[in-house]
Amino acid sequence: MTLEEKKTYHQIHPLQLSTDFLTGFGAAYLLWEKSLILGVCVAFIPSTIMSLYIIAKVDLEKYKASNFGVYVRKHMASKTADWLRFGGFAVMLMGGWLRFIWLVALGFAIVLLVWTKGLFVRSSPQKGSPK
């Protein structure tokens, strides 16, 4: 598996998903409480460490071959999807800092929409593939 593939499929490992979810809301809460440095640390350090660990040590072939892996390859393996998810996360954090719960919810909704867009939007067939 190439490094690029590992960078894609590590995102669907249960440890990465749970780390990102918990630290995202934990960081928003800490920012809500005006703990800027701790909030930023919680927002980025645990997820980065978990990413590095999973990419380096975990065999991700079963995730690549799974239905979720096929979905990620088709709908999530782009820089655009990465930036949209990060943008939603940034909105969540901004909502925490500004103490607007609706902004935290909006940011989380953006992240969810990016993750689930493939369930609602039919993608066009790839060139050379059957319709």
| C-alpha to C-alpha distance for 12 and 10, rounded to whole angstroms | 5
Nearest CA to 112 out of 104, 122, 100 is that of 104
Query: Which pLDDT tens digit goes with each residue over 12-52?
Result: 999 999 999 999 999 999 999 999 999 999 999 999 999 99
Nearest CA to 74 out of 14, 19, 12 is that of 12
Q: Cα dihedral sign for 19, 20, 25, 26?
A: positive
Question: Domain extents for the chain?
Answer: 3-120
Query: Token match 């998810």: residue?
Result: 85
pTM of the model: 0.85
